[in-house]
Each structure stands twice: as structure tokens, then as C-alpha cells.
Amino acid sequence: MMLSYIDPVAIELGPLSIRWYGIIIAAGILLGYFIAQAGVKRIGYDKDTLVDIIFWSAIFGFIVARIYFVIFQLPYYIQNPIEIPMIWHGGIAIHGGLIGGFATGVILCKMKNYNPFQIGDVIAPSIILGQGIGRWGNFMNHEAHGGPVSRAALEHLHIPEFIIKNMYIDGQYYQPTFLYESVWDILGFIILITVRKHLKIGETFCLYLIWYSIGRFFVEGMRTDSLMLTEHIRVAQVMSVILVIIGIAIIIYRRVKYNPLQYKEAGPLTWPKTKVK
């Protein structure tokens, strides 16, 4: 039996259970939306610019996050296909969500004639903030933790008592890797919001990819529930390295080939068709 300080279920309404995980994820998305909305208005876009982009990116992000997870757990789901849509049993991958959300966002930018790099800069701080908040859903679910540690080791970190108690799972204390990633992401949010006005169009989003991926690479190495590519290679660490390379490459390529405007200097931009002067 799992011995936990906090019940993962927040509200029970007859047969319906509302879990803290869902509440926290929804709160992260909502807060991110309001922050991005303030940013897009400063640029001069219409107040409804982000509604469809964030809504549909979130929907397809969750779908692809589940597909991504299932792909890397395929032997299990081949034997238990009825569980594939049972997302409430756990099993979504953030990198899958990012792939689905980014692809959806780019498609919608093309349809609406928005510049995807500029929109990416607007929402990048919101994405990493939402990820930092969302990790507390893992805390409530007693998942995404690291290896076993002593209570003394947790106390040495000077973290609140409620976190220490909730990391006591099945008779053992565990490393709160959710907390490490959450702190890293929230620090990333502060950095992105602070430096964005000094960067060129597209670079805030690339910095997000780089910052998030560096933190995720190291935190993933501590976790005990990673999706594995091989016996020793973790999928999330491979993806993190790829995203760091992509982020750096895009910054260099766009600076050399296009010399884009600074974020603070640009008004609403359209889908990139020609060289930006």
C-alpha cells in the first residue's frame, strides 16, 4: 500500500474523481495563457490572437504526448491495447507534447499568416512556466521521482516538510526530481521574460529549447521511471541533446542569413516569405 501524505485525488463526485494532477496542469496552462496574452498585446496583435493557437496546441500536444509514450512502451501496449487511451492511468511524455504542440502552433501560424518565430517568443516563457507548475502534478501523483534516499538527505536540502513527507512512498523516501526540474523551469521563466526584449526575433524560443533541455538532461539522469531507448540510453536525454543543438543552430543560422529584428523593435510580423531586413 502506498503511504503518502497527500491524496492524488482532490475531489470525488460519486464515480467521478478529479485529480490534483489535472487541476495543476490546467492551472499552469491558464496562467501561461494570461502571461502570453499580455505579451502579445504589447506587440500589437489582436487580443484573440493566441486563443486558437494555445487551445489547439494544448489539445494536440496531449494527444501526441500520449502517442509518444505509447510508442516507447509498445510491447506493453500491444499486450494491453485497451489501455492505450487511458491517459488517467498515467503515461504522457513532455517531449511528445512539445512536438505535437509546436507542430500545431506552426500550422495555425501559417493559416493565420502570423510569424511563428515571433509567436514562439511570446509564448516560450509561458510554456516553461507551465512545465514548472505542471511538475507539481507529478508530486501529487507520487511519480517522476529519483532513486531512494534517506530522510536525513532530504532534510539536508532544506526543503519544506510537506515535500519530504510526500516523497515517502511504499516505505521509502525518494529524490524529489520533480522539484529540481520545477525550480529550473521557473528560473528559466524569469530569465526568458527578463532577456527577451534584448534578443532578436526567434531567439527567446530557441533559448527556451536550450535552457529547458539542459536542465531536463541532468534531472532525467536521476529518475527511475525514464522511457528507455536502449538499456542504458534514456529517450529524454537524447531528445534534450537534439533540442539544444537545434536551438543553437537556429540562432546562428538566422543571425547569419536574416539578421532579424530585435523582439522589442518589431510590431506584428507575418509568415516569413522574404529576408528580414
Q: Please enumerate, by residue number, every residue annotated as part of a binding site.
A: 135
Angle at 80 between CA 76 and CA 85, to 5 degrees: 100
| Rounded-to-integer distance, Cα 224 and Cα 137, Å | 17
Calculate the CA 151 to chain-centre distance.
29
| Rounded-to-integer distance, Cα 53 and Cα 101, Å | 9
Cell 525518494 belongs to which residue?
174
Buried b (16+ CB within 10 A) or exposed e, 70-109: bebbeeebeeeeeeeeeeeeebbbbbbbbbbbbebbbebb
Radius of gyration of the chain (CA): 20
Copy the grid coordinates of residue 57: 496546441
In which order are the strands placed within the sheet that holds 148-149?
Answer: 148-149, 172-174, 168-169
Q: What is the 3-state secondary structure (H, E, C) of 204-215?
A: HHHHHHHHHHHH
CB neighbours of 38 closer than 8 A, spacing ≥ 6?
A: none
State whether residue 78 is helix, strand or coil: helix
DSSP code string of 185-199:
HHHHHHHHHHHGGGS
Q: What end-to-end distance do the CA atoms of the chain give, in Å? A: 63
